[in-house]
Chains A and B, each alone.
Chain A
Amino acid sequence: MAAPPPVSREPASNSSASDQPVVVLEQLSKKYGTFTALEDLSLKLYPGQILGLIGPNGAGKTTAIKILVGLIRPTSGTAQIAGADCVRDSHQIKRLVGYMPDRFGAYDNMRVREYLDFFGAAFGIRCKTRIARIAEVMEITGTEYMKDRFVESLSHGMQQRVGLARTLLHDPRVLILDEPVNGLDPQARIEMRDLLIRLAGLGKTLIVTSHILPELSRICDRVAILTHGRMRAFGTVEEIGRQVSQRRTMEAHLASSEQVAAAAQTIRRHLEADAEVTEVPLEATVRFRSARPEQELGEVLAQLVKANIRVTQFREVQTDLEEAFMTFTRPAEPTPAASSSPGGVTHV
């Protein structure tokens, strides 16, 4: 099968999307006896947005998802999808949400087309419409070539695609995908990533959980970090990165590794006393972290040039999602729970 061309992602902003949020969670909590699985989770999502729900095992991601799809009842708080309450309007929720659990749910001796036909019929789609719809979702997910294969004999990557096709059958407004890229090879992962971006482009709102953070950072407009049932951060990857550290990480690439020591000395002279400066001679790079404002950092570059150090690149290194995740989930430094506003600004 020829892989579809890679799709680039422009994060959907709240202003460009509809003003009405599709997913609204307010003070959502779930307790099992004395154990709190989820505590005061509040967030809003708009059409076309992709939310990455991340957290260590047992953080409450699956609990939040199951409440949204009506499989679990919250102890307190409310969850709404397109105005339908996840507890009271469970029948409506089934039509609004496409849920792909972390387990595929294969039936033995069933071909892919029969599998999709069954779920289409279960959603009450009339026979003629269903046949057309199956062809449509197969095209979207690139599963046409496997229509006569038995579902249990498909590879994991193929099953994930069929699972997504099944989720799309009834054309839901919100897609909730639990670990969609888990266990996929790099090629299949790229294809799945492109597919999710394309679906968001079609106006679907996606909630995706994953442990593969670089994947999420590439596709998500919003990221929510959960630990011990509480939301620690919510916002865009950049916003979360900025919250992680008040210091910025800068990098100076030099033309020659012989000048690394001299460059590091010059940088140290012009930074605060506790600034971290790291020499990487093998890469002809000096990396440093500083809380100094932009202007003063510009001065550092000027001093390097003045000292006859040939700088080929001088740039800020973005804090990645992995680093943010590790910071928020570090057990020794508990961070207060975050609350979010529709603008995606997180108050920590």
Chain B
Amino acid sequence: MFKALVLRELMTVLRQPRMLALQCGLVTLFTLLVAVRWPTDARVALSGVRSQEVFQLFALGLLAIVLLLLPVFPATNIVREKQQGTLALLLNTPLGPWRILFGKLLALSALAAIIFATSLPAASACYAMGGLSWSMLCSVYGLLVLAALEYLTLGLLISSHANSTDAAVRGTYGTMLGLSVLSLGPHYFFQGTKGALADGGEYLRSLSPFAAMMSLLSAGDMGGNGLISTTDVARRFMIGALVISTIAALWTVSRLNHTIFDQARAAGKISDDQSWQVQTARRLFFLVDPQRRSQGIGSFTNPVMVKEFRCRRFGRLHWLLRLVAVCAVLSLGLTYAATAGTLDWGVETIGSILVVMQVALVVLITPSLSSGLLSQEIESGGWQLLQMTPLSTWQIVWGKLLSVIVPLALILCATLPGYVVMVYIEPGMKLQVQRVVICLVATAVFAMLLSAAVGSLFSRTATATAAAYTVLLTICAVPLLIWLGRDAPFGHDVVETALQFNPIAAALSVIRLPGFRDYTLIPANWWFLGIVSVISLIVLLVRTRRVSRAR
């Protein structure tokens, strides 16, 4: 029975034609990754430096691929079964929650194994070049396996708590980004100092598989500023991954019973019907109370935009206002701290923090807001109803885009006070700040249109969200991977060309963050963002027209 469960889980995924395409794509990618850097010279250094350089790139690339591709499978697994009703059937069989979880985990691990298997020929090629020890190869794959296990168990846990597939995908990718990338942030700013903040940053960094992989490969740390860390990050990561995986697995098992279904239907409580004390308290807490009886849609307002705001859980106005408030306070606080001399960071570093914070928010939030613009309607059956209204296709699309533009504008405006103070302190930075703002606006438009265009190619919201995240994160991550190898194996020109495609790098180079200030990335980056945005808009309009027309 257990075997049947594993086989069903695995076959459901492997039967999809896109899986075959994915495997072929991975093999090609890994081959290219090694072939591009394969020595063409007749002489090879005995130390195997070239091989190690290629292997560093290959290992980090493989890790990025695992983190980008794998989380979507566990994220949609339990929640989809719950929606389709097969989870109830599964729980009704003699298979207990443990066997169900391990069956799912085993099948998902097999998928990870397939990804690793496709990378083995490329890894063997690196090994054949010399300079790589067998133990190094095993350690790298061991770390990859643990990282995969951690994100698989976390994905299943999030899936068991989610009520929709797209919410599960969003949650899983958000967690993955937080653990692997954002966890590196505090260390970058507190490295070289002593105290609780520095230690905290160090521990937080150990949660990131990227930091662990860099440490294992003895490569310079990400944003290390020349400082060498003596902490065994790889060991800490491995222990952390095992602990997180165990906790996540136990937690998921505790969800695989009647509690997953035992939910009362929302009663539809309304604040207006409660006492004035409750109403006032809610108003103070929420700023915009989501339980207030809403007014009718204004006669001249785009109804689709209002609908989008009302029906989305993530990105509702009361959350956005809080987010904006936090950003504004943080930006002003940081700027004040820098000017008051309590932090010895300099204006550029403060500016970089603001840029990183905003870009991270844009990259994290935008795909979840705009990738399902079309697919959500198609999946819920709402598109047919919208088509039956006199609203034109353009009005529908514009309303939907407006519902993304407003929150993005709020996020971008949130840190403006910080920039204004920066320019006030150092008027020489005016041009820099102006360029950064242009970079951020261009990034937001680019992320919105690209996510919407990629999402419009799929009819399922979960797939659309996962695809949008993958494409956007690939554009953001791949140039940064190349940047990591900026001294070797990649030269200045190669890194500069790669970074020109990266909106984060462009903003960081404009603000003159160490490590990025040597590259001239604008206006080439603006051209890239502009062209891709226009193409994405065309794709979105064509796709919308296609699904709207009478067949």
Contacts and interface: CB of A to CB of B under 8 A. Distances in A.
A99 B550 contact: no
B342 interface: no
A133 to B, nearest CB: 11
Contacts of A146: 268
Interface string B377-399: 00011101111111100000000
Contact of A114 (B265, B266, B310): B310
B55 to A, nearest CB: 47
Contacts of B381: 101, 103-106
Interface stretch (A4-12, A50-58, A69-77): A69-77
B298 interface: yes
B384 A71 contact: yes
B387 A71 contact: yes
Interface stretch (A123-131, A180-188, A240-248, A298-306): A123-131
Contacts of B174: none
Contacts of A131: 296
A127 B297 contact: yes
Interface string B259-301: 0000001111110000000000000000000000110111101
B403 to A, nearest CB: 13
B294 A114 contact: yes
Given A70-B550, A108-B164, A119 B294 contact: no
Contacts of B310: 107, 109-110, 114, 118
B303 interface: yes
A94 interface: yes
Interface in A191-228: none
A217 B222 CA distance: 74
Interface stretch (A147-155, A264-272, A316-324, A330-338): A147-155
A104 B382 CA distance: 8
B84 to A, nearest CB: 16
Given A94-B390, A114-B310, A153-B268, A127 B299 contact: yes
B551 A72 contact: yes
B312 interface: yes
A112 to B, nearest CB: 8
Q: Which one of A95, A105, A110, A118 has the highest number of Cβ atoms from chain B below 10 Å of its Cβ?
A: A118
Contact of A126 (B299, B387, B551): B299
Q: Which one of B269, B299, B310, B385 has the highest number of Cβ atoms from chain A below 10 Å of its Cβ?
A: B385
Q: Which one of B270, B298, B306, B389 has the highest number of Cβ atoms from chain A below 10 Å of its Cβ?
A: B389
B311 interface: yes
Contact-residue size bin, chain B (C-beta under 8 Å from the other chain): 35 or more
Nearest to B549: A73
Contact of B311 (A70, A72, A107, A130): A107
A249 interface: no
A2 interface: no
A91 interface: yes
A87 B549 CA distance: 11
Interface string A78-116: 000000000100110011010101011111111101100
A122 interface: yes
A104 B387 CA distance: 14
Given A107-B380, A126-B299, A94 B388 contact: yes
B332 to A, nearest CB: 33
B267 A149 contact: yes
B45 to A, nearest CB: 60
A106 to B, nearest CB: 6
Given A72-B550, A73-B550, A105-B382, A95 B390 contact: yes
Nearest to A110: B311
A40 interface: no
B387 A150 contact: no
B380 A105 contact: yes
Contact of A148 (B293, B307, B550): B293
Contact of A149 (B268, B297, B301): B268
A121 interface: yes
A107 B382 contact: yes
Contacts of A105: 380-382, 384-385
A123 B304 CA distance: 11
Given A94-B390, A101-B385, A108-B311, A118 B306 contact: yes
Interface string B161-174: 00010000000000
B3 interface: no
A117 interface: yes
A82 B270 CA distance: 42
Contacts of A118: 297, 303, 306-307, 310
Contact of A119 (B266, B270, B311, B389): B389
A327 B270 CA distance: 54
B389 A111 contact: no
Contacts of A91: 390
B268 A150 contact: yes
Given A111-B268, A114-B310, A69 B298 contact: no
B15 interface: no
Given A108-B312, A150-B266, 16 more contacts: A71-B387, A71-B550, A72-B551, A95-B390, A99-B388, A101-B381, A107-B311, A117-B296, A117-B297, A119-B389, A121-B301, A121-B306, A122-B304, A126-B299, A148-B270, A149-B268
Interface of A: 69-73, 87, 90-91, 94-95, 97, 99, 101, 103-111, 113-114, 117-119, 121-124, 126-127, 130-131, 146, 148-150, 153-154, 166
6 tightest A-B CB contacts, nearest first: A121-B303, A103-B381, A149-B268, A122-B389, A105-B381, A153-B265
16 contacts: A72-B550, A91-B390, A104-B381, A105-B382, A106-B382, A108-B164, A108-B311, A110-B311, A118-B306, A121-B301, A123-B389, A127-B297, A148-B269, A149-B267, A149-B268, A150-B266
